Structure 1
Amino acid sequence: MAAALTSAFVRPIANAIPANRAGIAFSRAFIASSLWLASPPLKGSRVEPGIRGEWVRGPEVTEGNAVVLYIHGSGYALCSARTHRGLTTRVSGGTGLPVFACEYRLAPRHRFPNAADDVRAAYERLLDQGYRRILVAGDSAGGHLAVDLAAQLIRERREPPAALALFSPLFDVTFSLAAQRERMSPDPMISAAAAARLVGLYTVDADLASERLRFAFDDIEGFPPTIIQAGGLEMLAADAIELARALRRTGAHCELDVVPGQMHVFQALTRFIPEAGPAMERACRFLTGNLPAIVRAA
């Protein structure tokens, strides 16, 4: 029912919004209002400002030397740590760990690789603050940024995150995979063409074959354990499947969870989708199950 209503009312609006300054402003307000309605923060959670982001702690979550870095999505151009509190408070509550929800510079004003650089800076700040056990979670474009972060650390022979949880991650920034899937069944939220226009505000003038945009993993060994979740109705289910295949080819442990009948980042829609809670619980169990018990020396 939620997917049918979204297809009838949200998809036409999303497809009609132009990828210009006025369209982006409208989209940001529309998505912020929608998430406020559909994805309220977990009751009893605390939110405090941080450096280029915010600290989120679920009920009874205390400090330690482990943390989750959360990277929000929405096409590199929309949303913020604030809009994603429905997700970040539940990640914190589910893992029992503090979450740092990082802010990154948004398109169209800021282009590739600004967002990726800001995510890397957030990771480095967590290390500087003494965290040696870092988990990473992200949705949509945030999932793409999470994979880029881990891959770059491995290429530099630095310690990557202990594990990743990716919700409806973007894998193919050209949206070719999404377009192929869309021909079988339209995405309830947006068309592949409209989504590609949005992401194109970030990737414009960039080499889409760059190893930081088009993940091949040919030179990657030791990628962190990863869980990937996607909705069976969304076009980015194709990206989730292909990303899982690519990671498994490197020898990485990767669990793929495509939930039938669900939409893009359905984990956020807690007020309307019963499957959101159990999916988040599975993701959080995966993260904590791969958290090292012993902290390596800095």
Structure 2
Amino acid sequence: MTTDYTTLIDEQTWAFIERTNSFYPPDAVERSVEQQREVYDTMCRAFFTGYPELVSSAYRFIETGERKIPIRVYEKYGSDPQAVCLYFHGGGFVVGGLESHDDVCAELCEATGFRVVSVDYRLAPEHLHPVAFRDCHAAFEHVASTTDLPIVLCGDSAGGNLAAAVSHHVRRHERAPIGQVLIYPGLGGATDQGSYVTHAHAPMLTTRDTIYYADLRGGGFNWSTDARFSPLNDTDFTGLPPTVVISAECDPLSDDGRHYRDKILAAGGKAIWNNEPGLVHAFLRARHSVDRARASFRRIATALHLLGQGRWPGQL
């Protein structure tokens, strides 16, 4: 099946895609992991937009029995934070870190006034599943034990997967998150149907890419029935926090968001799904150059802000 992206994607978004591909070409999965990380880091530095004036950050560590987990904590000057946003970055579980999403987290801090904690979880293939999940879960436990503020989970792409996985795991915790915002998450949907077929060759991310990263993360083992790996395949969707999923229309992962919303609703929970028209995977980096991405980022920040106050966004 062939999708005509010339009609779905506008000129601003094509310019973003072309700029991205000038750093990180479509054949990325043919490169070594070291090369992928180098290219990704270079690209992220080129897209870096700096911090809003009132936001500062501090580099810290979470002490666990296993390791020290690096984190970055963002605060807005003069703001009395109403919540903590625990943020997990994207990058296919293979690339990315505190630097790649530094300005994104700073802008979410500015927009919400919340304290934002970004987590530098360990990456595959050096650290296979469930290591990244364990690091993110440890970060949640640290935040839950060191503040009385409500906790909202947020993440993009791989980070959206990790946020959902933590939500499922800690849903009956006395400090369970009061909301989660998942940005174009990959949640473990079947890759032979739906958007994985319709958008198999989408710009920015292909279905082949998603399979490659899942195999790399899992070490070749089939983890599909493990909710820590594929939250969409959990057998229980009760007790999850109010959830906002923001997907991109031109993305093989888009149906993961739709199906995840549907399962939460079927279990009696609250969830909404926005499938952003004409946008592509990784559009967070386009939030200053593409009108559609800018508007979506405002919706993401609004959802975070409302959920952190215990309010339901309704429609965004």
Q: Equivalents in 2 of 1:162, 1:15: separation in Å?
A: 38
Cα offsets for 1:227-281 (capped at 9, x unmatched): 1112211221122222222222222211111111111131332232122332222
Structure 2 match to 1:57: 75
Distance 1:12 1:266, change over 3 A: closer
Cα contact 2:94–2:123 (8 A) shared by 1: yes
The one-letter amino acid of 1:40's match is T
Per-residue CA deviation, residues 152-171 of structure 1 (Å, 9 max, x unaligned), is 112x5544211111110111
- Unmatched 5+ residue regions in structure 1? 294-298
1:152-207 CA-to-partner distances (Å, cap 9, x unmatched) read 112x5544211111110111266445532325xx3111321123212311112253
Match of 2:66 in 1: none
Looking at structure 2, the residues matched to 18 and 66 of structure 1 have their Cα atoms a distance apart, in angstroms, of 38
Q: Which protein, 1 or 2, shows the higher relative CO under an 8 Å CA cutoff with sep ≥ 6?
A: 1
Q: What amino acid maps onto 1:162 in structure 2?
A: I
Residue number among 46, 62, 66 corresponding to 2:56 in the alignment: 46
Partner of 1:122: 139
CA change 1:29–1:224 in 2 (3 A) is: same
1:200 to 215, 219, 234: 215
Distance 1:27 1:174 in 2: 26
Unaligned ranges ≥5, structure 2: 1-10, 62-69, 311-316
Amino acid at match of 2:119: C
Q: Find the partner of 1:104 among 121, 139, 150.
A: 121
Q: Give yes or no for contact 1:61–1:96 (8 Å, CA) kept in 2.
A: no
Paired residue secondary structure (2:261): helix
Q: Give the root-mean-square deviation of aligned CA atoms.
A: 2.6
User: Which of 244, 269, 273 lines up with 1:227 in the alignment?
Assistant: 244
| Partner Cα separation in structure 1 for residue 263 and residue 22 of structure 2 | 30
Pick one of 107, 119, 124 that aligns with 1:90.
107
SS at match of 1:286: helix
The answer to whether the 8 Å contact 2:155/2:182 transfers is yes
Map 1:1-298 onto structure 2 (within 5 A).
Answer: 1-5=11-15, 6=17, 10=21, 14-18=25-29, 23-44=32-53, 45-51=55-61, 52-58=70-76, 60=77, 62-64=79-81, 66-154=83-171, 157-172=173-188, 175-177=191-193, 178-183=195-200, 186-204=201-219, 205-214=221-230, 215-292=232-309
Question: What fraction of aligned residue pairs are identical, expressed as a percent?
Answer: 19
Q: Conserved in 2, the CA contact under 8 Å of 1:90 and 1:280?
A: no
- Per-residue CA deviations over 1:33-75 (Å, capped at 9, x if unaligned) read 22222342333231210212111234x3535462110000111
Write the letter of the residue equivalent to 1:29: E
Q: Is the 8 A contact 1:49 1:55 kept in 2?
A: yes
SS in 2 for 1:290: helix
Which amino acid letter does the alignment assign opposite residue 160 of structure 1? A
Encode CA deviations 1:6-49: one digit per residue, 9 max, x unaligned: 26972995442346xx6212221222222222342333231210
Instruction: Select between 113-122 and 60-69 the one with higher mean Cα deviation.
Output: 60-69
Q: Is the 8 A contact 2:109 2:115 kept in 1?
A: yes
Preserved CA contact (<8 Å) 1:216 1:246:
no
Report SS of the residue matched to 1:260: strand
Asked if the contact 2:247/2:257 (under 8 Å) is kept, the reply is yes
Paired residues, number: 288
Classify 1:78/1:176 alpha carbon distance in 2 versus 1 (closer, same or farther; 3 Å): farther
Does the 8 A contact of 1:137 with 1:143 survive in 2? Answer: yes
Q: What SS does the corresponding residue of 1:115 show, helix, strand or coil? A: helix
Summarize the Cα distance change of 1:240–1:13 in structure 2 as closer, same or farther, 3 Å threshold.
same
Provide the TM-score with structure 2 as the length reference. 0.82
Q: TM-score, normalised by structure 1?
A: 0.87
CA distance in 2 between counterparts of 1:182 and 1:270 reads 22
Q: 1:220/1:236 Cα in 2 relative to 1: closer, same or farther (>3 Å)?
A: closer
Cross-structure match for 1:296: none
